[in-house]
């Protein structure tokens, strides 16, 4: 029988007993070491959570491996985190080392807790997306290989959230991350007139452009559109509604780097990440130039920020002008906003540093 709208499994059937018994009764927690949390309940019960990294793009055999560990140590339960880490929860302290060792045998490091660099939120990239301007999984692997020591330790001033989006649609909502890497196009769409006729609705395509760069083709015999290239900022919104306008281009595509966003309300309110590098070319498989810029920013932040200060809080305190000086990243006209909320970013005081 065809069943529909049954919804997801009831979460209550997915909880281990130790959680069921203390649901809503937790009193406090502490970080025992990188990757290990201890939660204590009002009832006196305690549980240990071992958090390990994951590549996120995984095979079913990988999931079965995780299940083997959970069956052995965790009452047949496990959970994933909002950053794609895997968590093994046990009420038996003596299981902790066993879980860490078995995860290590699978190549999965314990970490991602406290003042660390946890796993990277990311999108599909060249593994599955039609609008990707860069890869995601490979870029993430290249970055995490270099940031590995920060995943397995808690030595940064505060945690640093990294996110990768393979185009500016930003499926991963990367725009409020301490470090965000975003795939960008730099060439206008190439209009395929025959395909426009077959696959696209012309008024919708014209309306999709936020800068009004798309017009009807002036030749009445051609039922298609033209793009005013000087107005195009390569957002690809037209491509989303009309497949006949692809922007992907090996030379034009690459990544931009944004810095200093946060979503937590702790201390300063949530803030957007800001552009610091407008473009770097795609250099698979290791994106060495991109990784070097990120590593440099993290090291300068780690050496200069106050304890508990997030990347964006540190930069706001010292000023962006000083951030560019310390990191030696060149400031260009591309850094100056000219889109919808631009003037809010122009300086209206004589207070600044040299």
Partner 1 sequence: MDEDTPLLDELEKGPWPSYVKEIKRMAKKNKAAKDLLGIQELSYKDRVTHWKHGGIVGVKGYGSGVIGRYCDVPEKFPDAAAFHTMRINHPAGWFYSTKSLRQLCDIWEQYGSGMTNMHGSTGDAILLGTTTDNLQPCFDSLTEAGFDLGGSGSALRTIAGCVGQARCEWSNFDTLKLVYDLTMEFQDEIHRPRWPYKFKIKASGCPNDCVAAIARADFTIIGTWRDTLRIDQNAVRNYVDNGFDIKKLVVDRCPSEALEWDEKNRELKLQSDDCVRCMHCINKMTKAIRPGVEGGATILIGGKAPIIKGAYLSWVLVPFMKIEPPYDEIKDLLHKIWDWWDENGRTRERLAELIERIGLKNFLKEVGIPPVPQMVYKPRANPYVYF
- Name which of residues 328 to 347 contact partner 1 (CB under 8 A): 339-341
From start to end of 125-213, where are the E strands?
162-165, 179-184
Strand partners, 258: 180, 275
Distance CA 52, CA 35 (A): 7
CB under 8 Å, gap of 24 or more: what pairs does 225-232 form?
Answer: 225/191, 225/196, 226/191, 227/188, 227/189, 227/191, 229/188, 232/188, 232/189
Residues numbered 263 to 282 that lie near partner 1 (CB under 8 A) are 263-268, 270, 272, 282
- Nearer to partner 1 by Cβ, of 253 and 320: the residue is 253
The minimum distance between CB 90 and partner 1, in angstroms, equals 12
Distance CA 173, CA 228 (A): 29
Q: Which stretch binds partner 1 (CB under 8 A): 10-18, 93-101, 214-222, 327-335?
A: 10-18
Among 130, 190, 228, 317, binds partner 1 (CB under 8 A): 130
- Nearer to partner 1 by Cβ, of 341 and 353: the residue is 341
Distance CA 111, CA 35 (A): 4
Among 105, 155, 173, 197, binds partner 1 (CB under 8 A): 173
Among 115, 116, 122, 178, binds partner 1 (CB under 8 A): 122
Residues numbered 143 to 172 that lie near partner 1 (CB under 8 A) are 144-145, 148, 151, 165, 168-172
Among 30, 101, 229, 292, binds partner 1 (CB under 8 A): 30
Applying CB under 8 A, what is the total number of residues that bind partner 1? 118
Residues numbered 43 to 62 that lie near partner 1 (CB under 8 A) are 47, 49, 53-62
DSSP 8-state symbol, 270: P
Residues numbered 216 to 255 that lie near partner 1 (CB under 8 A) are 235, 237, 239-241, 243, 248-250, 253
- Nearer to partner 1 by Cβ, of 71 and 292: the residue is 71
Q: For residue 301, give every residue at least 6 positions away whose Cβ sits within 8 Å of its Cβ, in sequence order, or none.
A: 156, 157, 160, 311, 314
- Nearer to partner 1 by Cβ, of 10 and 333: the residue is 10
> At 259, is the secondary structure helix, strand, or coil?
strand
- Nearer to partner 1 by Cβ, of 220 and 269: the residue is 269
Closest residue by Cα to residue 301 from 285, 318, 286 = 318
Rounded to 5 degrees, φ, ψ at 230 are -70, -15
- Nearer to partner 1 by Cβ, of 247 and 327: the residue is 247
């Amino acid at each position: 029988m065809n069943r529909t709208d049954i919804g997801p499994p009831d979460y209550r059937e997915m909880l281990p007993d130790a959680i069921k018994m203390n649901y809503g009764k937790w009193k406090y927690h502490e970080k025992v070491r990188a990757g290990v949390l201890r939660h204590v309940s009002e009832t006196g019960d305690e549980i240990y959570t071992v958090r390990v990294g994951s590549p996120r793009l995984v095979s079913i055999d990988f999931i079965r491996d995780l299940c083997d560990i959970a069956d052995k140590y965790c009452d047949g339960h496990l959970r994933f985190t909002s950053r794609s880490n895997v968590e093994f929860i046990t009420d038996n302290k003596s299981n902790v080392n066993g879980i860490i060792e078995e995860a290590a045998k699978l190549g999965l490091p314990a970490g991602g807790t406290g003042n660390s660099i946890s796993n990277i939120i990311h999108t599909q990239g060249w593994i599955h997306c039609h609008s990707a301007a860069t890869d995601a999984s490979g870029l993430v692997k290249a970055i995490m290989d270099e940031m590995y020591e920060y995943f397995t330790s808690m030595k940064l001033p505060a945690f640093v959230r990294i996110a990768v989006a393979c185009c500016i649609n930003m499926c991963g909502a990367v725009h409020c991350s301490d470090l965000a890497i975003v795939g960008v196009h730099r060439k206008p769409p190439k209009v395929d007139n025959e395909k426009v006729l077959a696959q696209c609705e012309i008024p919708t395509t014209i309306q999709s452009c936020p800068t009004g760069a798309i017009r009807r083709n002036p030749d009445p015999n051609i039922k298609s559109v033209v793009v005013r290239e000087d107005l195009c900022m390569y957002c690809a919104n037209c491509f989303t509604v009309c497949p006949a306008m692809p922007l992907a281009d090996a030379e034009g595509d690459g990544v931009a780097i944004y810095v200093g966003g946060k979503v937590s309300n702790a201390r300063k309110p949530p803030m957007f990440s800001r552009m610091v590098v407008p473009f770097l070319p795609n250099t698979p498989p290791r994106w060495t130039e991109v990784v070097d810029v990120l590593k440099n920013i993290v090291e300068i932040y780690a050496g200069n920020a106050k304890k508990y200060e997030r990347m964006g809080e540190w930069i706001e305190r010292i000023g962006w002008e000083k951030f560019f000086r310390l990191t030696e990243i060149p400031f260009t006209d591309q850094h100056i906003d000219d889109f919808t909320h631009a003037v809010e970013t122009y300086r209206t005081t004589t207070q600044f540093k040299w």
